[in-house]
Amino acid sequence: MRHFLTLKDLTPVELQQLIARAIELKRMHKAGEIFEPLKNKVLAMIFDKSSTRTRVSFESAMIQFGGSSIFLSPNDTQLGRGEPVEDSSRVISSMVDAVMIRTFEHTMVERFAQYSSVPVINALTDDYHPCQLLADMQTYVEHRGSIEGKTVVWVGDGNNMCHSYINAAEQFGFHLNIATPEGYEPSADIVSAAKANISLFNDVKSAVKSADLIVTDVWASMGQEEEQKKRESAFADFQVDSRLMALANSDALFMHCLPAHRGEEVSAEVIDGSQSVVWDEAENRLHAQKALLEFLFTH
Ligand code: CP
Ligand code: NVA
């Protein structure tokens, strides 16, 4: 049995195959082909944080695959009233075929996985967002071909998305320039495990030179709402605008996992402009996660 808690739970070869499969599943879906490999299978979806894309994509994926899903929020489960993660894991995993979790502490998904009898998928923690990276890698490949050897630039907060980009740099073989304000760097442990593929910058203009892909994310993630004002001033020089895009390669793409704040981390001109592939990126959550579900159900 396999879990998907970070991108490192799959080998580089498995990840490449998964992206290729996501592209194929997308083609099949667009062609109207009915493909129901997960008939009668059930996915439990535990959400301790809000979601639009993750919930809709996993739920649609299960329905299109012939299975179904159960949405579990802390307001309605005993988990939300303090039932131990270990007990909840044993019980929930005895009744369903896979479990997807979006929560705060990454150790929660690790503890859940340890006691689970079925595959566990990390659908975002404070530390990682690996499902989003599957969609991002699929989107890059669809637009530009292989990402191996390319230069990707992360602009903004050294957050969960940034950490998953660090894992992706290693697993997909690209170089990642990370431009953050001082004090907002990614975790030193995660960086040091991938240091051959990473360069850290505090000057965003130097970081974006020769970029093939520029990626950013919100300045205050879920759970950091009270830091919004402080972060707005710390990140003021880190907006991805058209002047910054102009310093990158002329065919550079722009990605953002969404939801976005136009006028903060990205200008409206960039996110709504011709280099932005954010709508494909969002749609690919569906296709990439179908490939992930198929992989986990057959390994
Ligand atoms: N990108 C992403 O995970 O979006 P949601 O928070 O809407 O699921
Ligand atoms: N870094 C953001 C990503 C949202 C999909 C957050 O954790 O809120």
Per residue in 46-99, pLDDT (tens digit) is 999 999 999 999 999 999 999 999 999 999 999 999 999 999 999 999 999 999
Q: Answer for the pair 131, 122: CB distance below 8 angstroms, yes or no.
A: yes
One domain for residues 275 and 137:
yes
Total number of domains in the chain? 2
DSSP H helices in 94-250: 106-115, 130-144, 160-172, 188-192, 204-207, 228-234, 242-245
CA 135 to ligand 2 centroid distance, Å:
15
Of 45, 41, 66, 68, the closest CA to residue 55 belongs to 45
One domain for residues 142 and 255:
yes
One domain for residues 149 and 219:
yes
Residues 6+ apart with CB under 8 A from 157: 180, 184, 217, 218, 219, 221, 231, 235
One domain for residues 206 and 252:
yes
What lines the ligand 1 site, CB under 6 Å? Answer: 51-54, 124, 132, 257-258
One domain for residues 138 and 259:
yes
* Cα separations in angstroms, 71 against 67, 75, 118, 126: 14, 11, 17, 20
Residue 56 lies in a domain: yes
Of 158, 162, 176, 163, the closest CA to residue 234 belongs to 158
Q: Which atom of ligand 1 is nearest to the CA of 102?
A: 8
* Mean pLDDT for all residues in the chain: 98
Q: What does the alpha-carbon distance between residue 11 and residue 7 come to, in Å, rounded to a whole number?
A: 8
Residue 1 lies in a domain: no
* Cα separations in angstroms, 1 against 113, 120, 187: 11, 10, 29
- Testing ligand 2's pocket by substitution, the residue of 128, 129, 216 carrying the most ligand atoms inside 8 A of its CB is 129
11-15: long-range contacts, CB 8 A cutoff, minimum separation 24: 12/171, 12/172, 12/173, 14/295, 15/134, 15/137, 15/171, 15/172
Residues 6+ apart with CB under 8 A from 35: 25, 28, 29, 64, 65
Q: Which ligand is nearest to the CA of 135?
A: 1
Instruction: Show the tokens assigned to 187.
Output: 């975790």
- Which CATH number is 213's domain given? 3.40.50.1370
Show the domain range for 199.
132-281
One domain for residues 22 and 88:
yes
Residue 29 lies in a domain: yes
Residues 6+ apart with CB under 8 A from 248: 153, 208, 209, 210, 211, 212, 214
Q: For tokens 């998928």, what's the residue?
A: 121
Provide the 10 A C-beta neighbour count for residue 83: 12
Instruction: Check pocket membership of 49 for ligand 2, CB cut-off 6 A.
Output: no
One domain for residues 77 and 188:
no
Q: What does the alpha-carbon distance between residue 91 and residue 154 come to, in Å, rounded to a whole number?
A: 40
One domain for residues 277 and 186:
yes
Per-residue pLDDT at 120? 99
Provide the 10 A C-beta neighbour count for residue 247: 17
- Tens-digit pLDDT profile for the chain (299 aa)? 999 999 999 999 999 999 999 999 999 999 999 999 999 999 999 999 999 999 999 999 999 999 999 999 999 999 999 999 999 999 999 999 999 999 999 999 999 999 999 999 999 999 999 999 999 999 999 999 999 999 999 999 999 999 999 999 999 999 999 999 999 999 999 999 999 999 999 999 999 999 999 999 999 999 999 999 999 999 999 999 999 999 999 999 999 999 999 999 999 999 999 999 999 999 999 999 999 999 999 99
